[in-house]
Each structure stands twice: as structure tokens, then as C-alpha cells.
Amino acid sequence: MVIECKHVWDHISGYLDGTLSPEVREQVQKHLEHCEICSAILDSTRNILILTADERVFELPLGFSQRLHARLEAEIRGIAPAPPDKE
Amino acid sequence: MTGISDTTDEAQIIASILAGNTHLFHDLIRPHERSVYAMALSLLHNEADAEDVAQEAFLKAFRNLRNFRGESKFSTWLISITLNEARGRLRSKKNIKLESLDEPREGVGTVTPALLRDWREIPSEALERKEIRQMLQQAITDLPLIYREVFLLRDVEDLSVNQSAEALGISVASVKVRLHRARMMLQKKLVPQLKKANPKRRWFSWS
């Protein structure tokens, strides 16, 4: 069965996660082989996922760990937690 | 995220903390600091609030560690605490426009992706650039809440679909649908932006 681009777009996420049924996967695969537009959409989506998963996207603010562990230490020792040391 | 052997280590550390070695809590949470903060930041849009919520989440985890059951991963448990804290903070902030947990109207149906044939390669060196990191962060935080949560858990924190469903209290099918829309929305928004932001010789190697 031949499927259209629009139909393929609905399966991009499932295709990337490998959760499509074998039949659908094969239809998508066949389509991708000859459709440059959908292949580019798939590649760019995959690449965006690689970029957004990178640790550097959400970096901890300077001193985050120190402030966190100081507050935890106070809690652990049974002292009332101090207000966060920031701003 | 943690692997299988780390999970075993974690179980031992947790047992030891509960047995009285409370100082080990510091070591237990170190690998999770960034993901808890990222989760809080993407929900709250504000670094000071995110840090505060992250601290509260870790404190709550410490106080309630006894209630942690080994059935779920420690990271999943921690993330659901963070989600609750962040949602509570969102509700209590009157100056923040309330975000609906309902399905946004525009989210229904197919998200049309960006059609750019000549854009495929993203060198990871791009992340050396602050503007690119901010662009990605902004695009994620701009997603409607229900999509942002799923995307964060699954694609940023690397939780499985089942774990994400558990942390959010929604069905696996909903996770898949929301995840797909979130990814397509990001593709649509980011591809043209990234294309514009990057030098041709490096980025168009496929064309």
C-alpha cells in the first residue's frame, strides 16, 4: 500500500522510537526511500532530539549545587532549612 | 540517566540512608540535580523559581524517602515530586498566566512539519554557541504545558514511555500522542531557526 506524505508525518515519532507495527513501518520505510521531503523531515526531527537531549541545553546556574547541598545539610542535621541563598 | 547497576547501587544507598546514614543523601541525588532543575525550569520559565522548586523537591524526597518503593526508579519518583512541586508553584503564582492542562485546540490533528529539503545535519558543535542553546531552551519552554512535560520526561530526561506515563499519571497512549505532537512542533519551529542561525558550508552538506 502506498501512503502519502501527510500520513507519514503522523508516524515520524513512532518510527524514531521503533514502536510502529511491522506493516506500518514497512510502508513508511518504502515511502522514505523515494521521498526526499519526508526523509529530510525525519532527519531533522531526529537531529533536533539529539540536540535537545544534550546536557548543555539546560545548564545548572552557577553555585546551584553548593546552595542545594547546604540546604540539604541543614535539613539532614535537623536544623530548620535556611532561606535559599540567592538574589 | 542511570543504568541497571546504578539502580542497584541506588537501592543500597537508599537502604543505608534509611538505616541512619543520612549524609549519603547528598551522593544519592548528585546525578539527578540537572534533570530536576531542567524539569522545574521548563515548567516555571524562571531560574530563581526553578532553583527554589528544585531545592524543595529534593527536601521533600529526603523527608519522604521512606515512602519510596523500589517498584519505580528513583529518578522517576524524583521527577514526579518535582512535577508536583512545580505545578503547585504555577498554581500559586497569581501573576503567571495559568496554563491549561487540557488539550490545546491547535494541537488537535496533524502538525505540519517544516519542509526544508536542504536542512539535515546538525553538528553538535552548534551547542557551543549560547544563542543556539537558548533557542532550543526557548522552543521547549514555549511548548504548551501538556506537550512540554511529556517531551521533557521522554526526550530530555530519557525516561521510557511507561515511566513518563507513570510520572504524569496519564496513559501510555496519551504519552505517545503528546510526544509526537511535541516533537513535530519543535521540528516546525526549530528547523527554520537553526537553518538561519548556521553557516551554510557546515549545515548544508546534504544538498
Task: Give residue A81's pLDDT.
Answer: 43
pLDDT grade, residue B170 (50/70/90)? very high
Grid cell at residue B87: 505545578
Q: Which residue has the higher pLDDT, B171 or B134?
A: B171
For the cut 90, the answer to whether the pLDDT of residue B3 exceeds it is no
| Nearest chain A residue (CA) to B141 | A58
pLDDT above 50 (res B10): yes
The size of the A-B interface in CB pairs under 8 A is 143
We report the CATH number of the domain holding residue B66 as: 1.10.1740.10
Choose the final residue of a domain: B92, B118, B142. B92
B105 lies in some domain: no
Neighbour count for residue A52 (Cβ, 10 Å): 21
Judge whether B66 lies within some domain.
yes
B140 to chain A: closest CA residue: A52
How far off is chain A from B133, nearest CA to CA, in Å? 5
The residues near B196 (Cβ < 8 Å, ≥ 6 apart) are none
pLDDT value, residue B96: 52
Supply the range of the domain harboring residue B144: 110-203
State which amino acid sits at residue B91. R
Residue B134 distance to chain A (closest CA, Å): 7
Domain boundary among B65, B92, B119: B92
Q: CB of A74 within 8 Å of any CB in chain B?
A: no
Verify whether the Cβ–Cβ distance A65 to B33 is below 8 Å.
yes
Is the Cβ pair B114, A59 closer than 8 Å? no
Structure confidence at residue B93 (pLDDT)? 75
> Do A44 and B34 lie within an 8 Å CB cutoff?
no
Q: Is B87 within 8 Å of B43 (Cβ atoms)?
A: yes
ipTM: 0.81
- Do the Cβ atoms of A76 and B22 come within 8 Å? yes
Average pLDDT over residues B114-118: 65
Do B79 and B154 sit in the same domain of this protein? no
Closest chain B C-alpha to A7 CA, distance in angstroms? 9
pTM of the model: 0.78
Structure-model confidence comparison of residues A3 and B170, the more confident one: B170
